[in-house]
Structure 1
Amino acid sequence: MKPTMIAAAMAALLVLAGCGRNDAPAAPAAAAPAQPATPHKLRFLLNSGFSGANAWFLVAQQRGYFRDEGIEVEFTDGRGAFTAAGRMLEEGFDAGYGDIQATYEQAAHKPGQAPVGVYMVMDVSPSVIILPLASPVKEPTQLAGRTITGHGTDVALNTFEQFASKVGLDPKSVTIVPNPGNWKTLIGLLDDHTSDALFGYSSTSTAAIATAGGKVEERLRFFRFRDAVPELYGSALMVSPKLLHEQPQVARGLVRAVNRGVMDTLCEPQAAIDMLVAHNPDESAKVELGRLMDTLDDMGGRERIARDGVGDIDPVRMQAGLDLTVAQRHLPRGPDLGEVFDRSLLPEQAERRPCM
């Protein structure tokens, strides 16, 4: 992301927030319950390490929002958003952050055991198919007969059937090549014409180009899943069924703390990135700020956030995405909506609107 684009995006966030660091504070959080003598310890699986795309978790931790709820969180770096739901179930995590479509799949295969979404962060799918700027492929149907490369656990790769069904492309007409390489390696496959396209997130590929000192608009273009498959959501805060049903007040406190972190990050993006870089000096403040701004679009954009806040879903739309995923991924059963997302823990809408 170019410096001018970052500056414009920061300005947009401040307009969204309706405040600056010295202006009106974020919407007050509901009063936290009295803290227990011994905090509730929760194991939390991230989608990756801390980055600009999930900085609110670090903000919530460092500003003591979990502590305010009587919670002590142990974060574990993830291995990709699509792996979070499965790892939560298999490794016994109490909470996690990852792609909600993976939760649909876990619920279809293991009823009553799968994680449940409780706070939707990404209102639209962040997935893209990445093409070289000079690619002759101008429409998604022209991917037929071509090769697309991506990590085997990539969200876009694992929701490609849903995308293909909407654009009129036979997914079997595309050769999909899993590749565990880093983003420098993957983009190199485009440069040397080894692959016609890549699966990924726009924010991840953009950050990779920016880290190398390049300009995205001179290198890449995208087919965005959000344009073709508006039924799909992105990543959500998830909790285990055990935590949700046996300790609902702890789960509610977790949601409240995360929401405070999200609100702070949207109101004070630079402060969040400063905190991130202080936590990990190897991170580039410029690159991570760009990643955060790109993620704002994945959250639905500033107009939707200002209107609706963050965290909730449209049940009709999510049901449509659930049905589509069940059909296109040939899942063994169609989970009920309540098995994959529970809206009951959400703070009031006013608390989920930045600086309102």
Structure 2
Amino acid sequence: MSLLNLRRIGRYAYPIAATFVLISAAPARAQTGVKFSFDSHAEAPEALILVPQDKGFFKDEGLDVSIDDAATPVEPITRVAGGGYDMALADINALIRYRDQHPSPPIKAVFVVFNKPPYAIVARKSRGITEPKQLEGKKLGAPHVGSTFAQWPLFAKLNGIDVS
């Protein structure tokens, strides 16, 4: 871009920028505090909260959102049920188990991030694994917290995999 074009852009950009500065200098509204809990550290699903937080969209709407990680999938559920947190992004399977163990908790799911969970077993092509039964005798890795690890026994049973 030539220097002449930059000057033309600058001629219009400065007044526009000044207008935005003046508009944003309006009196600030009181911010409503919102405590939010993740069910682990930040991963892809948490982007639906982290991106608007990072871009200031919550503040623009008068919300002062604080976000905390949790050590286990049940922790954000107990945080909300106990009243210490307003909302959480939690594993629906953990919520179902929690509600089964705690009759009538003051908590419910209002939004599901995934209609079908993105669980996957990934293997190198060179290993020749093309069907679940071929996982017998192989070492698999999964976090002990969360529903992936908890659902492995059912997956193995349904696919005839001997896990002994």
Cα deviation for residue 157 of structure 1 reads 1.0
Q: Measured at CA, do residues 62 and 147 of structure 1 come closer, stay the same or move farther in structure 2, by a change above 3 Å?
A: closer
Q: Measured at CA, do residues 108 and 117 of structure 1 come closer, stay the same or move farther in structure 2, by a change above 3 Å?
A: same
- 1:260-291 per-residue CA deviation (whole Å, 9 max, x = no partner) reads xxxxxxxxxxxxxxxxxxxxxxxxxxxxxxxx
Which amino acid letter does the alignment assign opposite residue 89 of structure 1?
I
Larger radius of gyration: 2
Q: Measured at CA, do residues 145 and 52 of structure 1 come closer, stay the same or move farther in structure 2, by a change above 3 Å?
A: closer
Instruction: Indicate conservation of the 8 Å contact 2:38/2:76, yes or no.
Output: no
- 1:156-190 per-residue CA deviation (whole Å, 9 max, x = no partner) reads 2122244335x4335xx325xxxxxxxxxxxxxxx
In structure 2, distance between residues paired with 1:136 and 1:157: 23
Counterpart residue number, 2:19: none
Counterpart residue number, 1:281: none
Instruction: Indicate conservation of the 8 Å contact 1:47/1:78, yes or no.
Output: yes
Give matches, 1:36-51, under 5 Å: 38-51=30-43
The structure 2 residue matched to 1:98, chosen from 66, 71, 90, is 90
Give matches, 1:304-315, under 5 Å: none
1 or 2, which has the higher strand percentage? 1
1:174 aligns with 2:135: no
Instruction: Indicate conservation of the 8 Å contact 1:146/1:174, yes or no.
Output: no
Counterpart residue number, 1:124: 116
Instruction: Indicate conservation of the 8 Å contact 1:137/1:143, yes or no.
Output: yes
- 1:208-228 per-residue CA deviation (whole Å, 9 max, x = no partner) reads xxxxxxxxxxxxxxxxxxxxx
Counterpart residue number, 2:75: 87
1:138 aligns with 2:130: yes
Counterpart residue number, 1:190: none
Counterpart residue number, 2:149: 157
Q: Count residues with an aligned counterpart.
A: 132
Considering Cα pairs closer than 8 Å and 6+ residues apart, tell me whether 1 or 2 has the greater RCO: 1
Q: Aligned-residue CA RMSD in angstroms?
A: 2.8
Q: Measured at CA, do residues 105 and 51 of structure 1 come closer, stay the same or move farther in structure 2, by a change above 3 Å?
A: closer
- 1:20-42 per-residue CA deviation (whole Å, 9 max, x = no partner) reads xxxxxxxxxxxxxxxxx754322
In structure 2, distance between residues paired with 1:50 and 1:147: 26
Taking every aligned residue pair, what percent have the same amino acid on both sides? Answer: 24
1:57 aligns with 2:45: no
- 1:23-69 per-residue CA deviation (whole Å, 9 max, x = no partner) reads xxxxxxxxxxxxxx754322211244445543231222234433355
Q: Where does the alignment leave 5 or more consecutive residues of structure 2 unmatched?
A: 1-28
Q: Measured at CA, do residues 148 and 59 of structure 1 come closer, stay the same or move farther in structure 2, by a change above 3 Å?
A: closer
1 or 2, which has the higher helix percentage? 1
Three-state SS of the structure 1 residue aligned to 2:141 is strand
- Give the structure-2-normalised TM-score: 0.62
Which amino acid letter does the alignment assign opposite residue 51 of structure 2?
V
Which amino acid letter does the alignment assign opposite residue 174 of structure 1?
V
- Give the structure-1-normalised TM-score: 0.32
